Amino acid sequence: MGSKPPPKRVLLLTNSEHGQANVYLATSYALLTLEDEDVEVHFASFDPIRKFVAATSQHAQRDNPRARPIVFHKIDGIDMVSAWSRPEVTAEQQQLEKESMFMKIFLITQAIRRTLVLLKVTLPWTGPEFVQIFWSITEIVHTVQPDIIAVDPCLSPALTALRHIRAKFIILSPNTIKDFSMPLQPRGEALWKYPCTGKAYPYPVPLLSIPSNILLILLSILCGIFDPHRAAIQRHVAAHADSAARLTTLHDLSLADDPTTRLGISKILVANLPSLEFPLRIIPPHIVPCGPMIRPAKPIADVDPDLASWLAQGPTLYINLGTHVLFSEELAVEMATAVRIVIDYVRSVLWRDGRLRGLQVLWKLSRQGEYDVGARKGSRVYEVLGREIESGTVRIVDWIEAEPTAVLGSATVVCAVHHGGANSFLETVCAGIPQVVLPVWMDTFDFARRAEILGIGRWGNQKANRLCEGKELGGVLIDVMVGGRSAGYARRAKELAEICSEHGGGRVVAARHILAEIQEDGENKDGSAETDD
């Protein structure tokens, strides 16, 4: 009788910010619950994600008693969110959002400022901070000695370190196929057909907007190349890490026509599918569309029985723009007005359409400033929705203990309103629910466009010059929830949810691809020879 082979050892390297880390938590769970595999998962990140890693490990062990516990490795240094949340970065970012969220006039100086701020958000560390993380990751890799490494494309110190030590690694990304395939689209379509990230142009770009779209994209590329912050970090890496180390960032991944030879990457696994994407002529072979990688969540009845009972009462509109999108009192009144419009409309048509009888609203409100939404004198939100707040038809809360996927998974949610983050969009798709997207900046505009291209919802603030405008959003909600096209939105949403669940869902597909890499030769497909200019 032969000895049992050792477990396959997988190292996952990610930022601790949930927008990036959720795909790693989901894939960790999948790796540990594959019935035909024995996997040892090592999870390296910053301390804020530690408790979620522990919860995922426990969840996997409950569902598969054979599962090994996840081994957590703390990366030394400041996490990405803390780095980009420094006052000087957030103040500039907030100012740009105020100036240009939906500005129609193109300003070159504004475009350059916006791009430089974005680059600093995705590369928020100082030179010494970057090098500290670089060495910490290098040490973790040498300690773990993994069979394969999957790395977050926004964790640039890890990309730089792994490329430098010539490790075998793949990218595991919450990003889309489009984000990594633009350089390979034919006839220069990346410049004139697809809207520049962060601009509210329609798709395809209208003829009159093509010149400014091209200029914006070229400016963003040039800003990335000549970014002084990037240059300063590269100098510090050369001086204090290794002169041969080449700084590698998400910007490099997005612009490389073939990162398998230029950057030493084996594959890029994305939480996306062609059926959820913009129409693309070319999907390069190094990009592997896995589908949405959704981490498992406790049933809402186990986490918040009261909310579960309330949700079960009737069809529910779920509004959750996350923790980073803040509502001033003025914007809260606009949202309340939209809710008022849709509630009144539903009541007026109940005699001929009773699908939304008993409609209720769950609204997670992250406030900017101090103001009240309850029955107090001067509460402007209460003035709009007082009757519904009093009756419990509308619930406005600061926090929801249950995971968004658990809320979306309740059978009564009929529409979700969110800001267009990748996780929010994909979680709603997987739940089979129509959605209304209120994009705020950068790639959130792309997800608003996707909702409309795919026929699963609407862009809710396309005409507004702010986060939301009551009359516009109210009309969009009516269209999606009860209008003549509402049945089509619901039907298409369910069709896409079924597609996303095939082969066990994206997290299982990603897990299988990661393990398949171990079966191949230990060298990269180019013979581990890295080619740099």
pLDDT on residue 92: 52
Task: Please give the Cα distance from 339 to 360 (Å, whole number).
Answer: 10
Q: Tell me: cis bond preceding 69? Omega within 30 of 0 counts.
A: no
The kind and range of the H/E element at 512 are: helix 506-519
pLDDT on residue 91: 53
End-to-end CA distance of the chain: 53
Which one-letter DSSP state was computed for residue 483?
S
Long-range CB contacts (within 8 A, 24+) of 398-404: 398/364, 398/365, 398/366, 398/367, 399/364, 400/304, 400/307, 400/320, 400/362, 400/364, 401/303, 401/304, 401/307, 402/297, 402/298, 402/300, 402/303, 402/304, 402/307, 403/297, 403/298, 403/303, 404/320
| Backbone angles phi and psi of 315, in degrees to 5 | -60, 140
Task: Please give the Cα distance from 191 to 212 (Å, whole number).
Answer: 10
**Domain spans in the chain, listed from the N-terminal domain onward:** 8-82+124-188+228-293+505-519, 300-500
Q: How many other CB atoms are found less than 10 A from the CB of residue 449? A: 22
Among 387, 247, 400, 236, which residue's Cα sits nearest to residue 318?
400
pLDDT on residue 527: 46
Q: Strand order of the sheet with strand 435-437?
A: 394-397, 360-364, 316-320, 413-418, 435-437, 457-459
Which segments of the chain have a pLDDT < 70?
Answer: 1-2, 88-114, 116, 257, 261-262, 351, 520-533
SS3 string, 180-236, reads HHHHHCHHHHHHHCCCCCCCCCCCCCCHHHHHHHHHHHHHHHHHHHCCHHHHHHHHH
Strand partners of residue 8? 39
Give the Å distances, CA to CA, from 32 to 74, 206, 305, 393. Answer: 20, 48, 29, 41
Task: Please give the Cα distance from 7 to 144 (Å, whole number).
Answer: 13
pLDDT on residue 107: 52
Task: Please give the Cα distance from 46 to 69 (Å, whole number).
Answer: 18
CATH superfamily of 8-82+124-188+228-293+505-519: Glycogen Phosphorylase B; (3.40.50.2000)
pLDDT on residue 120: 77
**Under a CB-based contact definition with an 8 Å cutoff, are residues 139 and 167 in contact?**
no
pLDDT on residue 530: 43
- Asked if the domains at 8-82+124-188+228-293+505-519 and 300-500 fall in one CATH topology, the answer is yes
pLDDT on residue 100: 46
pLDDT on residue 109: 65
The CATH code of domain 300-500 reads: 3.40.50.2000
